[in-house]
Structure 1
Amino acid sequence: MTIKQSAKGFIPVGGVVKPHGIRGEFCIKSYADSPTIFGVVDALYLQNGDTPPKPITVDSWREHKGLVLLTAKGVTDRDQADALRGRTVLVREEDLPELGDDEHYLYQMVGCRVVLTDGSEVGVLEGFYETSEQDTWVIVNEAGTEILLPAVPEFVLDIDLDDEVISIDPPEGLLDLYLHPDPPKKKKPRRPPRRKKPKQS
């Protein structure tokens, strides 16, 4: 799932993945480095597609296997929780807690130039995909080619939001995979079957 355009003044901090159990608890994939954001903001909002965000009252939240499990007022069974699947979880930008020097919100990095360690351009960070294991950045170069980079510390070396530049060291062969894909192999033409000569008596 790529990052969604949120309503003005709101920032996406997660996405509802699926229900958990039978009592209305649901799983959220957090876009923040630390899931504690779900316990410190004044309010959370859910957005379905391009509809206006709707506030929810959080009853409880906890971490579980890389996801955030959350219960909200009015969501009391599995069917109600399942109906929230795919919703974007938002907070008001003004409610976001301050981060440390080495921490960043993903929304802040979208639009940054992405370069290699030697300064050569890779493209622009346009969005991301999230899974339960890791985030994958979507980088688009000048030709419009999408490059997918696993957003793990060994590949992402530096993030400079002031200059809007991200320095990366992708795994060997990753860029070639997207920029120089192997051409399709030509099929060998099939030879017509040989006709047997009739035997002469």
Structure 2
Amino acid sequence: MKLEDHFRIGTVTKTRGLKGELQVYVDFDGLSDIEFNAVFIDIAGKLVPYFVSNIKYPQANTAYLFLEDIDHIDKATPLVKKDIYLPNKLMPEKDPDDFTLMDLEGFIAIDEAHGELGEITDVTEYPQQVIASVHYEGREILFPLNTEFIKGIDIEGGEVYLDLPEGLLDVYLNP
């Protein structure tokens, strides 16, 4: 099983009780709408399948998970801090109206002052902001994606138009 054939739904944060229940931080919107009876857990770079015996969603971004054959805290503890995946075929179809900043990966970033910066190779969400990464003039450039800097998005053309703060690129190009 290859990682690229699966999508990440969350991470095991800790065990709950003595019977092997896992608490999962769910960072995939709409997980409770997907029906599944097995998950894959990344253990040392390999996806290991586990059958789900019970899953509950007590609050947003949290799930309580019982897996078959994980019936004691000693069996559950090694799974803490491991990522959980589902097969890509279970990923819900995305509504075109649900476009988010995370979807800008692969778009061409164009700055008003510097012109085309290049393809956005990574978009990472941090608690305070979303950061994009491009390779420009042989260096990795990071910049925030927010309404202050984004002047327009051409979804069909795959371009995002920016007005980055003066001097931001200089920080990377003239260390």
TM-score with structure 2 length normalisation? 0.67
**CA RMSD of the aligned region, Å?**
3.6
Size of the aligned set, in residue pairs, is: 164
Of 154, 164, 174, which aligns to 1:160?
Answer: 154
Of 172, 176, 180, which aligns to 2:174?
Answer: 180
Q: Partner letter of residue 19 of structure 1?
A: K
Change in CA separation of 1:123 and 1:40 when aligned onto 2, cut-off 3 Å: same
Tell me the equivalent position of 2:95. Answer: 99
Tell me the equivalent position of 2:23. Answer: 25
In our comparison, the structure showing a higher alpha carbon Rg is 1
Deviations 1:139-176 (Å, cap 9, x if unpaired)? 22241x11122233333343434222222333443222
1:130-145 to 2 correspondences below 5 Å = 130-143=125-138, 145=139
Offset of residue 138 of structure 1: 2.0
In 2, Cα distance between the equivalents of 1:82 and 1:95? Answer: 27
Tell me the equivalent position of 1:73. Answer: 66
In 1, Cα distance between the equivalents of 2:172 and 2:74? Answer: 41
TM-score with structure 1 length normalisation? 0.60
Offset of residue 21 of structure 1: 6.3
Tell me the equivalent position of 1:38. Answer: 31
Tell me the equivalent position of 2:123. Answer: 128
Offset of residue 120 of structure 1: 0.9
Large movers: runs of 4+ above 6 Å: none
Of Structure 1 and Structure 2, the greater helix share is in 2
Deviations 1:49-95 (Å, cap 9, x if unpaired)? 642363664612322xxxx1122222775983672415254452553
Q: Partner letter of residue 163 of structure 1?
A: G
Of 160, 166, 169, which aligns to 2:163?
Answer: 169
Q: Partner letter of residue 172 of structure 2?
A: Y
Q: What secondary structure sits across from 2:32 in the alignment? A: helix
Deviations 1:38-59 (Å, cap 9, x if unpaired)? 2222336444464236366461
Is 2:146 the partner of 1:149?
no
Q: What secondary structure sits across from 1:101 in the alignment? A: helix
Whether the aligned pair in 2 keeps the contact of 1:17 and 1:85 (CA below 8 Å) is yes
In 1, Cα distance between the equivalents of 2:74 and 2:147? Answer: 36
Deviations 1:5-62 (Å, cap 9, x if unpaired)? 9323x334x542733865521324x3x6xx3x22222336444464236366461232
Whether the aligned pair in 2 keeps the contact of 1:18 and 1:85 (CA below 8 Å) is yes
Of Structure 1 and Structure 2, the greater strand share is in 2
Change in CA separation of 1:60 and 1:172 when aligned onto 2, cut-off 3 Å: farther
